[in-house]
Amino acid sequence: MSESSVVSDNQDIFLCVDHVGYAVPDMDAAIKLHTEVFGWHVVFRGKNEEQGVEEVMLATNGHDVTDRDAEIQLLAPLNEESTIGKWLAKNGGRGGIQQVAYRVADVEKAAEILASRGVKMLYDAPRHGTYGSRINFCHPKSTGGVLLELVERPADPEGFMPIV
Ligand code: V0V
């Protein structure tokens, strides 16, 4: 590929993988598996009513919210009509990978760049996500079949919500 045909690298949009999201039919059973078998630490548990989910974040390096590697997000539906409820129903009631989330410095800018390259963004404006982050999603039909989330974490660590 010649240099002139390269649109750009991804330095201006993605910082790293923020988390991988698993849809789970039973949150307590999923926590037990991921902590007792895989050794992850629960660093957050809460509900996001707008997204219709109960969520748990799992990290490798304890509770230092300012310096975490990629995390695992467990997502259980608050009701059958939620996106996770529908995803689980379509998957025969079994859990699995529902999304991959990329960390970004500026979610509006990242969404604008991606949209200009033909990616279908789900929201016109960022919505509220885990730890007080600002989030948006790329429709899986425009990403090769994977639901991609964009996550802009709050600059101020004080903005991170406590474990519930
Ligand atoms: C649906 N499809 C998927 C998919 N969900 N493909 C890959 N991964 C998924 N998770 C496929 C589905 O099999 C269909 O393909 C097609 O997309 C249907 O698209 P649709 O009719 O537009 O819509 P739905 O009703 O299936 O919903 C899909 C979308 C929905 C992506 C629009 O899941 C959504 O709004 N997601 C964003 C919000 C979200 O996921 N919230 C929960 C996490 P065929 O059969 O047509 O080939 S909340 C969260 O992550 C938080 C709070 C956080 O991190 O901070």
Q: Is 150 in the pocket of ligand 1 (CB under 6 A)?
A: no
Higher pLDDT, 127 or 161: 127
Residues of the chain with pLDDT > 70, as a percent, come to 85
Q: Report whether pLDDT(62) > 90.
A: no
In a domain, 161, yes or no: no
Whether 160 is in a domain gets the answer no
Question: Which phi-psi region, left, alpha or beta, contains residue 39 (left: φ > 0; alpha: ψ -120 to 50)?
Answer: left
The residues near 23 (Cβ < 8 Å, ≥ 6 apart) are: 75, 76, 77, 84, 87, 88, 91, 95, 96, 97, 98
Quick: pLDDT tens for 28-61: 999 999 999 999 999 889 999 999 999 999 988 6
Predicted confidence at residue 145, as pLDDT, reads 98
Largest CA distance in the chain: 52
Strand 134-138 versus strand 127-128 pairing type: antiparallel
Residue 159 lies in a domain: no
Domain at 58, CATH number: 3.10.180.10
| pLDDT score, position 5 | 47
Mutate to test the pocket of ligand 1, among 141, 152, 160 (most ligand atoms within 8 A of CB): 141
Ligand 1 within 6 A of CB of 23: no
CA of 96 to the centre of ligand 1 (A): 13
Task: State the closest ligand 1 atom to the C-alpha of 83, by its place in the atom list counted from 1.
Answer: 33
Q: Is the CB of 130 under 6 A from ligand 1?
A: yes
Residue 4 covered by a domain: no
Residue with tokens 């509220």: 128
DSSP 129-140: -GGG-EEEEE-G
| Whether the predicted pLDDT of 164 surpasses 80 | no
Tell me how far the alpha carbon of residue 87 lies from the centroid of ligand 1, in angstroms. Answer: 7
Q: Which of 131, 139, 135, 137 is nearest to 155 (CA)?
A: 131
pLDDT band at 133 (very low <50, low <70, confident <90, very high): very high
Q: Under the phi-then-psi rule, with left for phi > 0, alpha for psi from -120 to 50, and beta for the rest, what region is 145?
A: left
Range among 60-69, 97-106, 152-161 rated most confident:
97-106
Best substitution site from 87, 123, 130, 147 to test ligand 1's pocket, by max atoms within 8 Å of Cβ?
A: 147
Confidence (pLDDT) at 6: 53
pLDDT tens digits for range 99-131: 999 999 999 999 999 999 999 999 999 999 998
97 within some domain: yes
Give 138 Cα–ligand 1 centroid separation in angstroms.
9
**Domain interval for residue 31:** 14-152
Strands 71-77 and 96-103: unpaired
Closest CA to 110 of 156, 68, 153, 53: 153
The angle at the Cα of 48, spanning 60 to 137, to the nearest 5 degrees, equals 80
How many folded domains does the chain comprise?
1
In a domain, 75, yes or no: yes
**If we measure between CA atoms, which residue out of 56, 42, 148, 124 comes closest to residue 95?**
56
Identify whether 6 is part of a domain.
no
CA-to-CA distance for 148 and 142, rounded, in angstroms? 10
